[in-house]
Chain A
Amino acid sequence: MEENNTQNSSLVTIRNLSFAREQRVIFDNASLDIQHGKITAIMGPSGSGKTTLLKLIGGQLSPSQGSIVVDGQHINQLNRSELYALRKKMGMLFQSGALLTDINVFDNVAYPIREHTALPESIIRTLVLMKLQAVGLRGARLLYPNELSGGMARRVALARAIALDPMMVMYDEPFTGQDPISMGVLVKLIKTLNDSVGLTSIIVSHDVEETAAIADYIYIMSSGKIIGQGTPQELQQSKSEWVQQFMNGKPDGPVKFHYSSDNYFDDL
């Protein structure tokens, strides 16, 4: 009964997920839930498969085992048109921004609206300017992606991700490579958007402090498994060595500093 309740309030339900690339196991029987209207963070060391998880949720990759249910639909059982219909309700912020480089900021944000609606240009203009105002870049609408700083590009990508008013936005490493001011702006934007528009947010990140400041729930991943989960406060008090090493940034612990190798002295 309790499990049913959990599933009903979940927008994304992942059960027994396994995924491998060639010989390398990325996920090994992982299960997690993303709650409606909450900010859920997926955290873990680099290379732990966090971005892959977003691609699996978005249907860009298929799991070798297990199920991914998004908004009540099994993502890997959908045909192309059903998958595309579902993706219109998802926004994704790529680490690089993934803006189309041959069109300007305005046209980038207008792109999904023009592709999926038959709205007149005057309404599209109003919608785009509203989205750009929300990320503080209305004045930069005529700039091209190569004229934007990294932080600005990510904010434009965020405006594009919310252009169709999605139910959920996935953020792939939104804070990586940002200066403190841009990072602060992005943290505030993600939180404000989530709370004011009623979005469900999934943040994939390894920036502990910024992510923990806005996340409602955190999953910590390592070696394809969920090694810890809970609210930021619960995780800070966790007794798990894995969780403590990650949350406090300790250089050595269950995740070794040294890559697996032969005896040092034998090797010299």
Chain B
Amino acid sequence: MITFLSTIGHSVIATLTKTGRGALFLKQTLSYTFSVLCQPRLISKQLFSVGVLTILIITISGLFVGMVLGLQGYYILSDFGAEETLGVMIAASLVRELGPVVSALLFAGRAGSSLTAEIGLMKATEQLSGMEMMAVDPIQRIVCPRFLAGCLSMPLLAAIFSMVGILGGQLVGVSLLGVDEGAFWSQMQSSIDFYDDILNGVIKSVVFGFVVTWISLFEGYDAIPTSEGVSRATTRTVVYSSFAILGMDFILTALMFGDI
């Protein structure tokens, strides 16, 4: 019994210590934001590897998610003779929920895991120590540009996901299943609100981008500098990011759309 309690105590202390380290890491990273923003060259390279290289997976996934929404939505709505509202249903689902959430999950799998592995391997091969000994702070040079690139990329990727998703829905709903094109677009235009739907979706994607990039970079920086340590850190990034995205999504949805 004592051993059991001791084990729980140790794991709680370890979790709290790690959370504290993560908070200090974030504080240090944010403290360099201004100086890194003054050197756009540092961010542009990372925007390419974190953002641009993720566009393909986001576009393909967005297209298929939109097409499935078009199919499912049509079969449900046609039971009630409300096929014309298919555009609203697809757009609202994507802009409010699926766009930010699914693109953040894909972002964690594609860009987040790659950030963790890159930073973790730099630590394992003493590149970060080498920079410190050259009087160059790795948080400023390596971590902060990646963090800003992640925060900037995520809302843009979510927007691309939603846009391509809507086009996918239109392809299935209008071109294949025969929903009236005018009704599809005009109902969407009149029902989707800029502040309630689009802006809230953008806020969600900014929050997810911030959290996923923070988790990814911290896990890499805090990884045990061995091949197994980096491998575990990469797995943790995907798992923790997914939990964080889904948990934060519930909280944000409750705050934005619920009456809580």
> Are these two chains actual partners, yes or no?
yes
B132–A60 CB distance below 8 A: yes
A98–B130 CB distance below 8 A: yes
Of A11-19, A86-94, A195-203, A256-264, which binds chain B?
A86-94
Tell me the minimal C-beta distance from A34 to chain B in angstroms: 17
A9 within 8 A of B: no
B127–A90 CB distance below 8 A: no
User: Which chain A residues border B181 with CB–CB below 8 Å?
Assistant: none
Interface residues in B, total, Cβ within 8 A: 13
B125–A87 CB distance below 8 A: no
| Contact flags B121-134 to A (C-beta < 8 A → 1, else 0) | 00001110111111
B135 CB contact (under 8 Å) in A84, A99, A157, A160: A84
User: Which chain B residues border A84 with CB–CB below 8 Å?
Assistant: 135, 137
Taking CB atoms and an 8 Å cut-off, the chain A residues in 41-67 that contact chain B are: 55, 58, 60
B127–A87 CB distance below 8 A: no
B136 within 8 A of A: yes
Tell me the minimal C-beta distance from A63 to chain B in angstroms: 17
| Contact flags A98-122 to B (C-beta < 8 A → 1, else 0) | 1111000000000110011000000
B125 CB contact (under 8 Å) in A55, A92, A96: A96
| A96-B125, A101-B125 known; A87-B130 Cβ under 8 A | no
B129 CB contact (under 8 Å) in A60, A90, A101, A160: A60
Tell me the minimal C-beta distance from B13 to chain A in angstroms: 14
Chain B, Cβ-Cβ closest to A157: B130
Chain A, Cβ-Cβ closest to B124: A96
User: Which chain A residues border B137 with CB–CB below 8 Å?
Assistant: 84
Taking CB atoms and an 8 Å cut-off, the chain B residues in 113-167 that contact chain A are: 125-127, 129-137, 141
A100–B127 CB distance below 8 A: yes
Chain A, Cβ-Cβ closest to B45: A102
B127 CB contact (under 8 Å) in A55, A58, A98, A116: A98
User: Which chain A residues border B129 with CB–CB below 8 Å?
Assistant: 55, 60, 94, 98
B126 CB contact (under 8 Å) in A87, A88, A96, A112: A96
Cα A94 to Cα B132 with chains together (Å): 12
A85 within 8 A of B: yes
Q: Give the B-binding residues of A (Cβ under 8 A).
A: 55, 58, 60, 84-85, 87-88, 90-92, 94-96, 98-101, 111-112, 115-116, 157, 160
